[in-house]
Each structure stands twice: as C-alpha cells, then as structure tokens.
Structure 1
C-alpha cells in the first residue's frame, strides 16, 4: 500500500474533516462544474448499474436519481454530513437506498456481495486509491462491473501543465489529486476495461470494467 495504517487513518481523518465542512455548500459549489465539465458523466455511470449496486463515496447523492428502477442500491461515504444530505435527496426523489458511513478502503461488506460498484468523482480524493480499488474488487462478484467517473491528468500539454501547478494546492486544501489516472491502476487491481471515454480536453474520464477472474497482481 502507499501508506502505513497510521498514515492512512490520519489522511482519512483529514479528508473526513474537509468534507464535513464542505457538505453544506457542495451541491452549489459543483453545479457549474457538473454542467459544463462533467456534463452527463454521473448519469452515464449510474444508468449502467445493474442488480445489487454499491456506490462508493456517494457524497450528497447527486447520482441517486439516475439509477435504474429495480436496482438494490447501497451507498457509503466517509462523511456523516454528506450522508445526511444524501438521505434528504433520496427522500425527495423517492430513491430507495441504504446509506452507511464507511471508508472506501475498508468496506463493511462480504466478498462478492455486489453486481456493480460505482465511484463517481471520488477516487481523486481518496488518499489510498489503490486500496480503494482493491476493496471494490473484493466486494464485486466474479465478472461484476466497476463503473468509474473522475477527473484525470489530461493528455493536452497545456492543460496538464496547469494541472501540475494546481495539484499541490488542491491536495493541500481539499485532498483533491489532479494528476491521477485510474485506468493505469485497474489491471493491477484485477479489472479488465470494457469501455472508456475521455472528454473536456481529456480532463474527464469514464470507465467500465469487469472483475477479472485472474485477480489482482501481487
């Protein structure tokens, strides 16, 4: 892993504190970003979920209305304040979902418990993204589907240079990494990518992958 246990716990406590403070303003702060940068990304991942579904880092539940009818939906998040807003959104939209406080790196579910795992705009803020992917792999059934949406390091030189300058500021302020690329981690985590798309100058990437029977690389 990239962190020792104590370091990971400290990082997660810091991230929890950040999102506890951000929760009241999160929806309004991300409205324009979602509209012009993310676009239909949340709908893309949520609408492809099937069966027993887990959304990791569900936040305020912005994706909840986009899940198909008939999904057995569970969401987890590190922040109680974010979960409180997700519960409110679920009630307002009539979405049936079980919401639980939990770390993405220690999911409180047995192995092979879900048909689909969704993670939208969250791996960028999880301190140990490799450990989170390993947990997503563990809780997926064989041949289960992982659906990811995130901002990633751009292939455009000018944009990438700006991201590199912004990265230390954003990591320090809100724990938000600008230079990550989940695609590069998936094979090592035991996934086979089945679909991917990058847009908005390569900054946004959405991926569909299946749990590979070969398992994670050791």
Structure 2
C-alpha cells in the first residue's frame, strides 16, 4: 500500500524496520508498564471484532473464543508476524494491510473495535477515531489502551522531554490522550481507568445506539 502522507510513510518505515525485534523490545514493558491491559481489552470484546493496528498480534491470546476477529495493520512485516501468531494459537481471523485513518471496511461492520498502544503513533488520531466510529455498529464498543501523559507533573515533564526525540524519530507521542478525541467524536464513555501514575489509560466507550 502507498501511504497517503509523509507522516504515515515515516511510521510505516519505522515499523517495517522494527518488526522482527518488536516483541523482544516490548517484553519488559508488557510485564511492568502495560500489565493487565491486553487482558482488560479481551475481556470486553464481543461479536465481530476489528483490531486496528493489530501489530504482531499480541492481543490475540486474550480474545474470547466466540468472537469473530479481523485485524488491520499498516506494516506488512508486522502483519506477517501476527499471521504466524494466529496460526500458532489456532485462531482464525481475517488480516489486511491498511491505514487506521482510512479503514478498508464498510460502515456499521463491527460490534467491537479495539486499538492498543497505537494511537500514540498514528499521525492523525482524531481521524482514526472517526474511522473507528464509522465502522462500528450503533451501540458498538470502542476499546482503547494507550500510554498517555502522567497525572504526576514530574513524570509528565520527563515524558515531554523524551517525546521531543521520539516524535522526530518514530512519530511516537508520550503526552497524547485519546479521551478528549473519543468524547469529541460523539462516543459515550462507559469505563475509564488510569494506572501506573496515570501514564496508562484504558477506555471503554460506546457508539450511540441512535443518532
């Protein structure tokens, strides 16, 4: 696929390069920072599930057996690893290369949309959230997990400093927060949790059943 803009192209280049080492690089953070987040998402997913920016498929072990899974990912290299993980787990799912800001699915196609640790790098997160809303059925669930700016000022200041390098190098933000964008997109907030000094946020939101 050809990215629509240079920011997305940069993100694609980063993930294509880092895909083979990604699972090893994130393993420690999974244990000490993102603890329990993927399980939290999986416990709330139901029906026809779309995972946006599925990456290497680290959420796959946590989805209930009865859901119908679809995954979309910008990086073909990451997608290939997700496919192998699904095969190892014996899970059947549809995987496609695609951009979170222009999802290749019809409106009202999914009961649940999941996005984990990815809105921090998507160049236009408001556009991506609008796309997630579009493909959700009325009353459908949006489940998000991401790192955000800490509720503790000293930690947030350190995150801001780190961000000055990571945004330039990989498009990764540490002080972004999805909650205002989700609310602005017209979702109803069902659950909201902040953990790890407020640096990790878990969101469960609902697309209104009637417009």
TM-score over 0.5 for the pair: yes
Q: Shorter-chain TM-score category?
A: over 0.9
Aligned to 2:51: 55
SS state of the match for residue 172, structure 2? Answer: coil
Instruction: Tell me the TM-score normalized by structure 2.
Output: 0.96
Structure 1 spans left out of the alignment, 5+ residues: 1-6
Q: Unpaired segments of 5 or more residues in structure 2? A: none
Question: Equivalents in 2 of 1:10, 1:44: separation in Å?
Answer: 34
1:138 aligns with 2:162: no
- Conserved in 2, the CA contact under 8 Å of 1:8 and 1:128? no
* Counterpart-to-counterpart distance in 2, 1:52 and 1:27: 26
Distance 1:61 1:32 in 2: 17
Number of matched residues? 209
Aligned to 1:211: 207
Give distance in 2, aligned partners of 1:202 and 1:36: 14
- Cross-structure match for 1:181: 177
Structure 1 pair 68/12, CA: closer, same or farther in 2 (3 Å)? same
State the shift of 1:198 in Å. 0.6
* Correspondence 1:54-203 to 2 at 5 A: 54-203=50-199
1:118 aligned counterpart, secondary structure: strand
CA distance in 1, matches of 2:138, 2:54: 23
- Structure 1 residue 12, shift from structure 2 partner: 0.8
CA distance in 2, matches of 1:8, 1:147: 26
What do residues 169-218 of structure 1 show as CA deviations (whole Å, max 9, x unaligned)?
11111211111111111111110110011111110000100002576xxx
Distance in 2 separating the partners of 1:32 and 1:95: 25
Cα distance in 2, alignment partners of residues 51 and 73 from structure 1: 9
Is 2:36 the counterpart of 1:40? yes
Superposed CA deviations along residues 78-104 of structure 1, whole A, max 9, x for unmatched, are 000000000010011111111100000
